[in-house]
Copies of this chain bind each other. A is one copy, B any other.
Amino acid sequence: MEFLVRIQVDLPPSMPEAERQELLGREALKGREYIEAGALRRIWRIPGRVANFSLYEAQDATELHALLSELPLWPWISADVQALAVHPLESTTANV
């Protein structure tokens, strides 16, 4: 099942640059791990913000929450999760 997730990151401007870079580095590693595992299917930046839209594949919301809460940036993240249903245009019958 797929989920559309909007993630906003709110790192305080006062965070030391080294800590910030280390965090972002770990976040990128985790992201690649999720991509390779097939959990993170797509990810886009929202221009003008430290935020992204991500397309996750997970068995259910419980697995999705586990994936999100293991992100290194988790304490600074607020995420909006939209459960997605299959659209007929991507299966066999047609409707809007």
Q: How far is the CB of A43 from chain B (nearest CB, A)?
A: 4
Name which of A2, A49, A78, A89 has the most chain B CB atoms within 10 A of its CB: A89
Question: Whole-angstrom distance between the alpha carbons of A9 and B73 in the complex?
Answer: 17
Q: Which residues of B contact A61 (CB under 8 A)?
A: 1, 45, 47, 83-85
**A: interface residue count bin:** 35 or more
Minimum-distance CB pairs A-B, first 3: A48-B79, A28-B94, A44-B84
Question: Which residues of A are at the interface with B, using a C-beta cutoff of 8 A?
Answer: 1-5, 7, 9, 13, 24-25, 27-29, 31-32, 35, 40, 42-50, 52-53, 55, 60-62, 64-65, 68, 73, 75-90, 94-96
